[in-house]
Amino acid sequence: MPYSACYVADNKYGDCKALTNYFKAILDYLEIPSYYTNVYAGDKIKKINKDFPSQQFNHVILYIPQDRKDIWLDCTSKNAFDYLGTFTQNRDVFVVDHDKSYFTKTPSLTPHDVLDTRQVDVSYDTEVATAKFKNTYKGGSYETILQIEKNYNESQKSKFIRNRMVNKGFQLTDYNLSKPNRDSLEIALSYQATSRNLYKHYGNEILINNIRFWLPEFEKPEVRKLPVQIDYPIYNIDTITYEIPQGYQLYNNQNTYSIQSKYGKFQLHTYEKDSKIFLEKSLLIFAGNYPISEYSEFYEFYIKVMELESKTHLSLYKE
């Protein structure tokens, strides 16, 4: 049972039940209908048994039906207004309305809602290349980084960005983490880093390495025992620009790769323009529940993407 709205007003405190009840009382006073709603929240979506009355929920949110677009509020969240996020999206919920209570579902995160983008500008040096990153995060990444921005001191932020946000093989030299406005659904991180691994010299040739996506690992089919559950899409887009050293030419002016399946799609395109190489790539992995019987198909798609990511190199030769 939630604490009363009076208790929250007096004590300036409440858990999810109390805060939801408190805000519902405010809306009731304004004659705006809203509904106390039970949900099972967390990192993994849990199936609700609707045929057996029992306590299957661990969190409470507020549902505000509207003509144009319904509003869903997690009254304990510090995220943007009307953003449920990965914690409560795409869930069966129980809307409490006296003797007319019913089940419905919270909105699902779309690929646009979870899009992470990187714009990387790489400057050549014979020893240490410099890369300037301009990254924008949504979805789960936005939620994590926003909490870092709000709750960490400068030393803790620097450590987190250095250890968690900078690609392997890069050394962070400077960064700027934006402070988004209250209702922004994205957060931006710009940073500069150096690397000795981007340009590799081999005689009169230079091999330029790809800056890979951050991707989770999956077991080989012979090891996997459980089905795959992806609760929301994974969507990444990169635009990477490499400086071409003076006197060098790109071996192949354009390269294009594309993979599509029921599990997602991957595209990669490279081209030369104004003494620079542009590498544009995108990866979308669909949300879904895939049984163990088709895991090998999912893994085949995923490993093709991983192989292209790891094998993508750009070759330059001296004129």
pLDDT digits (tens, 9 = 90+) for 10-57: 999 999 999 999 999 999 999 999 999 999 999 899 999 999 988 999
Average pLDDT in the 87-100 region? 96
DSSP-derived secondary structure letter, 222? T
111-318 carries CATH number 2.60.40: yes
CA gap 145, 125 in Å, rounded:
31
Per-residue model confidence as pLDDT tens digits over 131-163: 999 999 999 999 999 999 999 999 999 999 999
Per-residue model confidence as pLDDT tens digits over 228-237: 999 999 999 9
CA gap 306, 298 in Å, rounded:
12
pLDDT > 90 fraction of the chain, expressed in percent and rounded: 88
Q: What does the domain layout of the chain look like in residue ranges?
A: 5-105, 111-318
**Chain mean pLDDT for the chain:** 94
pLDDT of residue 302: 95
pLDDT of residue 253: 64
Q: Are 298 and 290 in contact (CB under 8 A)?
A: yes
Q: Are 64 and 56 in contact (CB under 8 A)?
A: no
Q: C-alpha distances in angstroms, 22 versus 12, 13, 95, 228, 280? A: 11, 10, 17, 39, 48
pLDDT of residue 1: 86
**Does residue 252 register a pLDDT over 70?**
yes
Per the model's pLDDT, the better-predicted residue between 180 and 254 turns out to be 180
Average pLDDT in the 107-130 region? 97
Burial class from Cβ neighbours inside 10 Å (0-12, 13-18, 19+) for residue 293 reads exposed
Q: What angle do CA 307, 313, 314 make, to 5 degrees?
A: 150
Q: Where are the alpha helices (DSSP H) in the chain?
A: 5-11, 16-29, 139-151, 154-160, 295-311
Q: Give me 55's structure tokens.
A: 């306590």
